[in-house]
Amino acid sequence: MNRLGFKYVTMIVYERSLDSEIPTVITKVPAEIKVLSKEDISSELFQGVILTSDDDGYSHQEALRKISEGDICLVVSVNNKPAGFGWIYTQKVKYEELFEAEIRLADSESLMYDRLVFPEFRRMGLGEKINEERLRLAQSMGFKKMLAYVEIDNVPSVKSIEALGFRKTKSVSCMRLFSLRKVFEKPISTRD
């Protein structure tokens, strides 16, 4: 539908205090998670591996740009084979293409975004493990709160986020018809 000039998307905004205990996720297979460096990206291990949703897997221009700008990528590996990734945003303003608006973060906030577990490694707890480690890393960096924007119909991500203690705070919707665009925010009651 986007090609016809119409777009409608709704995301749920979640937040979680980093002052409370972070649950430990047990995966179904042994997994290693590490922060991805520019040197890692150029290694043979990551040739042909997608490292961000808008990356090509070979030049990794988008992943390199994000790291250069201060974003942090955690990569999960199983038997030394990349199995997925998840990103953390720690700057103050992030433009979110999906709903065509800026996300503004307080000094004490960080943002989890763009997590993917490769198909052959799904249903093993790796996505939840990436989320756990992103929380722990942000906590160790002194952040007090983690935010996450999740598409309303992304059931696996919703379950993963909620299992780690995130709570819904609002919904953000974007409706666009050709060049006319409207973004709306609506608070979500916490009395569920």
Provide, rounded to the nearest whole percent, the portion of the chain with pLDDT above 90: 83
pLDDT digits over 19-71, tens only?
A: 999 999 999 999 999 999 999 999 999 999 999 988 889 999 999 999 999 99
Q: How confident is the model at residue 100 (pLDDT cuts 50, 70, 90)?
A: confident
pLDDT digits over 162-183, tens only?
A: 999 999 999 999 998 988 989 9
What's at 117, amino acid-wise? V
- Round to whole Å and give the CA distance between 148 and 55: 21
CB atoms within 10 A of CB 164: 19
Predicted TM-score of the model (pTM): 0.91
